[in-house]
Amino acid sequence: MNLEAKDLAITTDRLILRPLTMADAPTVARLITEKISINTAPIPWPYSLQDAQSWLSTMKPDQVFGIFLPDQGLIGAVEIALNDGNEIGFWINDEFAGHGYATEAVTAALDYNFSTHPVTTISSSAWVDNIGSQQVHLKVGFEEAGRKHHFWPNRQAEVPVVRFILTRERWLQRQLANCPSDSHPLPSR
């Protein structure tokens, strides 16, 4: 798949994922709440337009996607930082939490990344009190890989986190298990 960033869009049953641009910065800044900041390691609080612009200026188009709900617009983001531990992070604005949007978006981002990049594992972490994030990880196929303390800049402290890992092999097994018997998601060898 060789797409220009402007052409890259991933659609799911309910969502559109596309690279965020500087034009999205004001909306990103408005959507980040204190709750999101507390639960998401690298997001400072309060979160400003300058924070959003700084974040977006460092992003590669096929590694960070805005999560868009038709008729509602941007509701969150999902990022897979390849070459930086292959770690995924995601957030959904509080108003849209609890409707399965994070699960749907993370699944789509994982499918895209495992299909287009030669990564063997993707990791992630969630604050131990962020049960919603942990549930998303488990629903999309991650397995718990332990617990540790991790420095979160937004809290200026070490916080207990649950580590998760998803291997390409596990992702492929889930793809095959979810594939109707008359179709084949993978090319034959």
Mean pLDDT confidence for 12-19: 97
pLDDT value, residue 2: 34
CA pair distance 42, 152, nearest whole angstrom: 7
Given the candidates 3.30.450.20, 2.80.10.50, 3.40.630.30, 1.10.3720.10, the CATH classification of the domain at 5-177 is: 3.40.630.30
What is the per-residue pLDDT for 162? 96
Strand-pair partners of 18: 66
Residue with tokens 């749907």: 104
Count CA atoms within 13 Å of residue 95 on its CB side.
10
Model pLDDT, residue 5: 53
Which pLDDT band holds residue 84 (cuts at 50, 70, 90)? low
Beta-ladder partners of 66:
18, 77
45-81 burial: b if 16+ Cβ within 10 Å, else e:
bebeeebbeebbeebebbbbbbbbbeeeebbbbbbbb
Q: Which residue has the higher pLDDT, 12 or 188?
A: 12
Query: Averaging pLDDT over each range in 6-10, 33-37, 46-50, which range is the top one?
Result: 46-50
pLDDT in tens, 60-71: 878 889 999 999
Closest CA to 4 of 15, 14, 24, 18: 18
Look at residue 3 and tell me whether its pLDDT is greater than 50. no
Answer whether 78's CB lies under 8 Å from 105's CB.
yes
Amino acid identity at 181: S
pLDDT at 94 over 70: yes
Cβ pair 168, 114 in contact under 8 A: yes
The pLDDT assigned to 186 comes to 43
